[in-house]
Chain A
C-alpha cells in the first residue's frame, strides 16, 4: 500500500514533467524553429511592416466598399479574437430567425438592386465567431455593391475574388472558400 502510494506520487510527478513541461517545450522550440510564422498566429504585415491582422482570424467589415464576412456571435463586439464563441441558437429558436432577417435586410439595404437569393453562409453566424472565410458564392453575391462603391467594373472585382479563392485542399478536402481579410486588403490596394 505504502509502496504503491510512493510509486503513484513519484510517477505522477515524473510523467507530469515529461508530458506537461518537456513535451510542450520541445514542440514550442521546434515549432518556432520550423514554422515561426504559423506558430505565432499567421500574422499579416503591410508594406511598412506593420501588422494588419491574422490570415486566420476574421475581422468585422460593414462598409459597402469592403466584402463582408460571416456574421459573428462573439461578445461584446463581433469577431472578438480574445473570446471565441458561436451563437448556439437552435434551428427553431425565433431569435435565430430574427437575426437572419436583420442580416438579410442589411445586405438588401446596402445593395437594393440585387435580387439574387443570399448564400446561407453570409447570413448565419460561424461556429467560432472568427471564421476568416466566406464561400465563393457569398463573395459573388457582393460583387455589384463593392464594384459600385469603388466605381470600377464588376469584372475587375470578380478577378480579385478569383485570385483569392482557396480551393479544396489537395483538390478534395474541405470546401472552396475566399479569405475576406486578404481580399479586402487587395481591394484597398487598388487605390
Chain B
C-alpha cells in the first residue's frame, strides 16, 4: 500500500466519523418531533400528507399495529414495482420502447427493492424504462430505507419508555424519515453528482459516431429471425461493422443519490457505480462512498441521544468501526498484491507514481486499487450492495472479505436502521452471555433481558445463516442451480455462496458472473430476501413492544456497564464468534481453496 492509499482511507474514515454527531443530533430531533431548521418548509407538507391519508400523528401504536402497518406498506410497494415492470411497455417515459419484464425477474426485483436489498438481477439500461426506474425503484429506495429507520426508532422507544404499551406511530416515523432526512440529503447529493458528470435527463439514449470503426462477428440470422447453422450445426457467423455507439442516459443522478444514502445499491446501469455516467470522477466516488455509511454511522449517535446517554451510541459505533477498519487493511493489500498468474507474463502489477498496479481486472482506472477495495468493504459493511468494481474478478481473499462482512449479518454499520437494530440484537446477546457468566439477570439500558427477548434476538441471529447456507446447499446440489455458474472450480462455488449471502442479509451486491436472472435464482433469492428482512424486523418490533412495557431497573453494583471498552470488546467478540463459527466451513470450500490453488500454482 502506498502512502497516498493510507491517506485516502484515513480521510474517508475521519470524515465519516466527524459527520456522525451533527447528523445524528439532527435525526434524533426529527424523531423526537422537535423543530429542526427545515420545519418551516416541510411541516405544512407533512401535515397535508397526514390529513389526506387520515393519519392522526398524535395517535400511538402498539407493536402489533406498528408491525401490521409496516408489512402492509411493504406489500403495496412489492405490488406496485411488480406491476410497473410488467406494464412498462404500455406506460409513458419509455423512450427505448423496452418490453415488459418477465414475471420471475419482476418478482425478484420488486421484493429486492421493497426489502432494501436491491439485488440487481436485471441489467438496468436494457431492461427498465425511465418510469420504472423513477416511480418504481426510486420510490422504494426512499421508503424501504425509511421503513428500516422507523423500525429502529421503534426499538429505541422500547428502551426509553416504561410501563408503556405503544412504541410510536409508523406512518409518522416513515414520513418524517423520508421528508426531513432522506429527501433533503438526496437532493443535495444528486445535484453535486450531476456537477461531476452523472447524467440526469429524460431524453432517449444518444447515438454518437465512433472515431474508429469497430468490426466484430455475430451469428447470422435467417429471414425467420433465428440464427442460421451450417451443416455441422455450428452457427454461421457474419462480420459486422459498428460505426456508431449508443450511449445510454436517463434520470440517473436522482436515483443514485438515494441509492447510496438509503443503503439500497441497485444501479441505474448494469455495472452500477463502475459506470462512468453513474460514478464519473474520484470525487463522485468519494461522495457516493461517504453517503453509503453516513446515515448508518450517524444513527448510532441518534440512538445514544434518544436513550439519554450518548456514550452508549459511541460504544456501538466504536465496535463497528474497529471491525470495519481492520477489514479494510486486509482487503486493500489483497487486491494490491495482484494476480500471481500474470506475474510470469511480463505484466507490470507494481504500484508506482504512474499506475495503481495490482489486480486491475474488473476495476476502473480512475478508482484504482485503493478506492475499489475500500468501496467493496464499505458497500458490504453497509447493506448497500452497489459496486464500483466487479467483485467476481477480485482475488480470492479480496472476494472473501466482502462476503464475510455480509455473513456477519450486516451489522457493521449495516443498512439504514436495519444495521443498528441488528447490532442491538447482538448487544442483547452479549449482555446475556456476560449475565450468564456472573449469574445475574442481564439488563441493557435499564431493561431486564428475559427469556422472551432472548428468543426473539436468537431468531434474528439464526435466520440469515439458515437462509444463506440452506439456499447455497440447495443451489449447488441441483442442475438448474449449477447451470448458472460462470467461473470454474472453487470460484464457482463462491459465486453461489456470495449470491445467497447477499440476498440472505439484504445486501444486494453480487459476484456478477452468476447468471442469476433465471426463474430458479429469481424465485429462490427473492424468497431469501423476504425471509431475512421480515424475520428480522418482526422479532425486533416484538422486542420493542416487550421492552416498552417493562419498568426501568436502576443501575446497581451488578450492572454491566455497556459504554466501556470492555463491552465494546465483548460485542465485537459476539459478532465475530457467531459469524466465524457459522461460515468458516463454507468459506473454506470457496475462497480459501481458491486462494491456496492460486498461490500454489506454478
Residues of A within 8 A of B (CB): 1, 3-12, 14-16, 18-21, 23-24, 26-28, 30-32, 34-35, 38-43, 50-63, 66, 70, 76-94, 96-97, 100-101, 104, 116-121, 123-138, 140, 168-170, 172-177, 181, 184-185, 188
Decide yes or no: A76 and B218 within 8 Å by CB, A15-B178, A39-B200 being known contacts. yes
Which one of A27, A131, A135 has the highest number of Cβ atoms from chain B below 10 Å of its Cβ?
A27
Decide yes or no: A82 and B248 within 8 Å by CB, A27-B254, A130-B275 being known contacts. yes
Mark contacts of B232-251 with chain A using CB atoms, 8 A cut-off: 1 yes-contact digit, 0 otherwise: 00000000101001111101
Nearest 5 pairs of A and B residues by beta carbon: A174-B282, A127-B274, A88-B513, A175-B368, A82-B246
Contact A91–B356 (Cβ < 8 Å): no
Query: A138 CA to B365 CA in the complex, in Å?
Result: 10
Q: Which residues of A contact B359 (CB under 8 A)?
A: 91, 120, 124
Decide yes or no: A121 and B274 within 8 Å by CB, A19-B178, A24-B138, A92-B597 being known contacts. no
Q: Which of A96, A131, A176 contacts B276 (CB 8 A)?
A: A131
Q: How far is the CB of B453 from chain A (nearest CB, A)?
A: 26
Is B574 in contact with chain A by the CB < 8 A criterion?
A: no
Pick out which of these stretches binds chain A: B31-39, B207-215, B442-450, B543-551.
B207-215
Q: Which chain B residues numbered 509 to 565 have a C-beta less than 8 Å away from chain A? A: 511-513
Q: How far is the CB of B145 from chain A (nearest CB, A)?
A: 10
Decide yes or no: A42 and B280 within 8 Å by CB, A117-B346, A137-B348 being known contacts. yes
Closest to A54 in B: B247
Contact A28–B201 (Cβ < 8 Å): yes
Contact B355–A119 (Cβ < 8 Å): yes
Contact B195–A32 (Cβ < 8 Å): no
Q: How far is the CB of A83 from chain B (nearest CB, A)?
A: 6
Contact A31–B200 (Cβ < 8 Å): yes
Pick out which of these stretches binds chain A: B21-29, B102-110, B388-396.
B388-396
Query: A80 CA to B247 CA in the complex, in Å?
Result: 8
Chain B count of residues within 8 A CB distance of the other chain: 135
Q: Which residues of A contact B210 (CB under 8 A)?
A: 53, 59-60
Q: Which residues of B contact A28 (CB under 8 A)?
A: 200-202, 251, 254
Is B52 in contact with chain A by the CB < 8 A criterion?
A: yes
Q: How far is the CB of A84 from chain B (nearest CB, A)?
A: 4
Is B142 in contact with chain A by the CB < 8 A criterion?
A: yes
Query: A26 CA to B191 CA in the complex, in Å?
Result: 10
Contact A42–B270 (Cβ < 8 Å): no
Query: A82 CA to B127 CA in the complex, in Å?
Result: 11
Q: Which of B7, B206, B371 contacts A174 (CB 8 A)?
A: B371
Q: Which of A62, A82, A138 contacts B355 (CB 8 A)?
A: A138
Contact B274–A90 (Cβ < 8 Å): no
Query: A87 CA to B513 CA in the complex, in Å?
Result: 8
Q: How far is the CB of B423 from chain A (nearest CB, A)?
A: 27
Q: Which residues of B contact A173 (CB under 8 A)?
A: 8, 282-283, 285-286, 371
Decide yes or no: A81 and B247 within 8 Å by CB, A35-B194, A57-B277, A89-B487 being known contacts. yes
Contact B126–A83 (Cβ < 8 Å): yes
Decide yes or no: A89 and B513 within 8 Å by CB, A20-B134, A120-B349, A172-B11 being known contacts. yes
Contact B126–A82 (Cβ < 8 Å): yes
Q: Which residues of B contact A136 (CB under 8 A)?
A: 354-355
Query: A57 CA to B53 CA in the complex, in Å?
Result: 46
Decide yes or no: A93 and B491 within 8 Å by CB, A78-B214, A84-B270, A177-B366 being known contacts. yes
Q: Which residues of B contact A15 (CB under 8 A)?
A: 49, 139, 142-143, 174-175, 178
Contact A81–B245 (Cβ < 8 Å): yes
Which one of B134, B276, B354, B389 has the highest number of Cβ atoms from chain A below 10 Å of its Cβ?
B276
Contact A7–B55 (Cβ < 8 Å): yes
